[in-house]
Amino acid sequence: MRPILSGVVCVVTLVMAGLQSASAADLVITARMHHLRSGADREWAEFPVNAEGRELVLAFPAKANQAEQTLRLRHRDLKQPWLVFLNGTETARLPLDEADMITYWAVPAGALKDGRNELRIRCTGGDSDDVLIGQVTLVDRPKGQLLSEATVDVSVREAPNGTAIPSRITVVDTHGTLVSFGNVSGPQQAVRPGVVYTGSGTVRLELPAGRYVIYAGRGFEYSVASVDVDLARGAHVSRRLTIHRDVDTAGWAAMDTHVHTGAFAGHGDAGLDERLLTIAGEGVELPVSTEHNMRVDLEARARAAGLRDYFTPVLGTEVTTASIGHFNVFPLPVEGSAIDPRVVDWGGLRDAIAGAAAEPVIVLNHGQDLHGGFRPLGRARHVSLTGEDLDGWRLPANAMEVVNSGAVLSDALSLPRDWMGLLNRGVILTPVGSSDSHDVSRYIVGQGRTYVRCGDRDAGRIDVSQAIGALRGGQVMVSYGLLAEIEVAGKGPGQLVQPAGAMDVKIRVKGPGWVRASRVALYVNGLKVREQPIGGGTKAGLKWEATWRLPKPSHDVHLVAMATGPGVAAPYWPTAKPYQPSSSAFTPYVLGLSGAVFVDADGSGTFESAHEYARREVSAAGDRRGLITRLSGYDIAVATQAASLLRVQDPDGFESTVLGMIPNAPPQVAQGFAAYLQSWTESRAARRGR
């Protein structure tokens, strides 16, 4: 695969990039990129400490234009709205997108004047935004003419049968920058700068003259093909790109449990028909429509667009409350009772959902994000280590997002840790991955996704009831660029294993050739018990496999496999920066997470959580020494749950009690007690500050 421009670029390297197409008649207003910052705080550590300023003001000489001309500029890392003014008149609203891209904007006749002219670019958003904007050229040709100087007929085919297939086409210049087209969105194509989703697998690209790299792909399961083109003015060429399935997911349907459109959400840019094209083009087999507090059925529009054979739509909604979090609920009937988002606590929400749906999947969305002053799994109200809700609320969900590719966290493992802590608490939730995409290309639909165990041979005729049953039962894998498969005694995620002795845990890591896996780990009751680097992590398909033997545990536990790797910088599938970062420093990542395999080690016939064991032992113990003795046969997870129960029994004195027990406790009990004290100290400080 060709090297491309990474997301972290020194300003110096951008000075002359992208100017090769300027002709003698064109006016270069600035040849370099300018670092601007809209607020006082540095957004990302990759940018210099000091910016050039809050806005860019460039004076340039020109002649009054009698006909339309075109303003060409390059920009990167735009999270807030940035506007372009020419002689005081708004000329462009730059797209909200962190990608490195070149866009073109019409300069109407009469917009320029003889002599001095002024170009001003400034941000109208409220939050701090570090951006690079520059390489501005005034081209003495109309925008439409410039963007259609050359054409390329692109055909994307799937090997081995050569069938045309819906796909994503990405076009960059020789520096890896997304370039704009003359194309516009229509019935069979969704278009944004540098990106076209085609429902038919074919498209005629309209481009300015220049040299480009064209990529074709179809989401996580497929390879990426590429071709170079060198286009002179008036050129018309044809290129065929062939992709193939890299990742075998037979028996597992690709599901995105959190899909929006900008048209209904009020933010983002995807129209409904564009959304259907992106779903087909990314290979999402079970998309769940989850518009905010409304139901938008994709069925009829998918059939009208001729795309229904590529996926089976599921109707749901995102219950977007003012101050108690966001929850996706599906499947729902097209008509039925509304779910009231005005409820004020989780009990009221549970009742509202029960009145609208029978046995739905209820997903806690982006639990670490702050909306309406409320962070469901924030330290001020939740102890992640033990899955403990400090306000005494009972979660109304049976699933939770552990990956949201449209709202990634600075810490890749933060939500997985929350999920495993809740399992230890006895709150059995299915982990899901989703995209939360509202856009055509800024956040890629299906980039975060859930693989659910069900028949998937015909993507357009998946048994939704079977898939929902498997999802509710935890038979899933979560993918954000990788898959982590786990199997114990022939059982997989969501299933119960009753071992007679030592357990052989089979783990496989899968992914396409353009994603790298670097490490794999096994967690027992949320504790990492084994980890190793992955050699050959760039292989396509099966990247790594092994069987790890674990001794039979002395009590019930849950097992989770997790694979990680560096994020994708390539323009055809870039992983995003955090939505609400906890630090200005960020290392992009990919992640694959298995659902939990439950181990019935005590032979009771059911899975008992760490909390259940701790509650039993704390209740039975007569004194501190007795409790230490009773906990000696358990792991750290049970010890942390015991410490949380001691806190509830004696809020004022439990810290001194636990500190007094630690010196005489077995190592795993001492570690569990100490870990809980640390977590509680952090939560207590957060509660005082809220």
Lookup: tokens for 347: 């009990």
pLDDT surpassing 80 at residue 5: no
The confidence band for 4, taking pLDDT boundaries of 50, 70 and 90, is very low
Alpha-helix residue ranges (DSSP H) falling in 367-506: 414-425, 464-472
Write the pLDDT tens digit of every residue in 484-532. Answer: 999 999 999 999 999 999 999 999 999 999 999 999 999 999 999 999 9
* Inter-residue contact 689 to 378 (CB < 8 Å): no
Q: What pLDDT does residue 121 have?
A: 98
Is omega for the bond preceding 667 within 30 degrees of 0, making it cis? no
Structure confidence at residue 580 (pLDDT): 95
What span, in angstroms and rounded, lies between the C-alpha atoms of 528 and 219? 30
The amino acid sitting at 633 is G
Q: Read off the pLDDT band of 622 (50, 70, 90).
A: confident
Residue 21 has pLDDT above 60, yes or no: no
As a whole number of Å, the end-to-end CA separation of the chain is 49
Q: Would you say residue 309 has pLDDT above 60?
A: yes
Angle at 554 between CA 549 and CA 558, to 5 degrees: 65
Query: pLDDT band at residue 673, thresholds of 50, 70 and 90?
Result: very high
Round to whole Å and give the CA distance between 468 and 462.
11
Q: Are 194 and 101 in contact (CB under 8 A)?
A: yes
Q: What are the residues facing 344 on neighbouring strands?
A: none
Residue 244: burial class (beta carbons within 10 Å; 0-12, 13-18, 19+): middle
C-beta separation of 222 from 243 below 8 A = yes
Is residue 469 a contact partner of residue 303, using CB atoms and an 8 Å limit?
no
pTM for the model stands at 0.95
Q: pLDDT tier at 649 (50, 70, 90 boundaries)?
A: very high
Mean pLDDT of 38-47: 95
| 248 vs 540: CA distance, rounded Å | 10
For residue 364, which of 324, 333, 335 has the smallest C-alpha distance? 324
HSE, side-chain direction, 13 A CA sphere, residue 528: 11
Per the CB < 8 A criterion, the answer to whether 78 and 577 are in contact is: no
Q: What is the pLDDT of residue 547?
A: 98
Vertex 422 angle, CA 472 and 479, to 5°: 55
| pLDDT one-digit tens code per residue, 150-190 | 999 999 999 999 999 999 999 999 999 999 999 999 999 99
Listed in sequence order, the residues at least 6 apart from 221 whose beta carbon sits closer than 8 Å to its beta carbon are 245, 246, 247, 249, 254, 283, 512
> What confidence tier does 126 reach under pLDDT thresholds 50, 70, 90?
confident
Nearest residue to 147 (alpha-carbon basis) of 180, 109, 120: 180
Helix axes 610-620, 414-425, angle to 10 degrees: 50
Q: Tens digit of pLDDT for each residue in 139-150?
A: 999 999 999 999
- In this prediction, residue 411 has a pLDDT band, given cuts at 50, 70 and 90, of very high
Q: Residue 10 has what pLDDT? A: 33
More confident residue, 333 or 11: 333
Average pLDDT over residues 605-610: 98
CA-closest candidate to residue 578, choices 41, 5, 44: 44
Alpha-carbon separation of residue 265 from 101, 272, 398, 403, 608 (angstroms): 25, 11, 25, 21, 41
Tokens representing 186 are 């229509």
Q: Contact, 34 vs 134, CB < 8 A?
A: yes
pLDDT band at 689 (very low <50, low <70, confident <90, very high): confident
Cβ neighbours for 66, distance < 8 A, ≥ 6 positions apart: 109, 110
Per-residue pLDDT at 24 exceeds 70: no
351-405: per-residue pLDDT in tens? 999 999 999 999 999 999 999 999 999 999 999 999 999 999 999 999 999 999 9
Q: Which two tokens stand for residue 342?
A: 């005005």
Q: What is the pLDDT of residue 25?
A: 76
* Average pLDDT score over residue span 400-429: 98
**pLDDT of the residue at 536:** 85
> How does residue 575 score in pLDDT terms, banded at 50, 70 and 90?
very high
In the predicted structure, residue 690 carries a pLDDT above the cut 90: no
Residue 634: name the closest of 606, 680, 670 by CA.
670
Q: How confident is the model at residue 557 (pLDDT cuts 50, 70, 90)?
A: very high
Q: Which residues of 470-502 are buried (b: 16+ CB within 10 A; e: fewer)?
A: bbbbbbbbbbbbbbbbbbbeeebbbbebebeee
8 A C-beta contact, residue 81 and residue 132: no
What is the overall mean pLDDT for the chain? 95
Which residue type, as a one-letter code, is found at position 94? L
Q: Tell me how far apart the alpha carbons of residues 524 and 507 are, in angstroms, rounded to a whole number.
A: 14
Return the higher-pLDDT residue of 337 and 528. Answer: 528
**Spatial CA neighbour of 105 closest among 120, 87, 86:** 86
Mind spelling out the 3-state secondary structure of 337-382?
CCCCCCCCCHHHHHHHHHCCCCCCEEEECCCCCCECCECCCCCCCE
The answer to whether residue 19 scores a pLDDT higher than 50 is no
Evaluated on CA atoms 134, 144, 444, 84, the torsion sign reads positive
388-389 and 163-164 strand pairing: unpaired
Q: Is residue 210 left, alpha or beta, with left meaning phi > 0 and alpha meaning psi from -120 to 50? A: left
pLDDT at residue 112 is higher than 60: yes
Residue 20 has pLDDT above 50, yes or no: no
Q: SS3 letters for 156-222? A: EEECCCCEECCEEEEEEECCCCEECCCCCCECCEEEECCEEEECCCEEEEEECCEEEEEEEECCCCE
Closest CA to 256 of 380, 414, 434, 409: 434
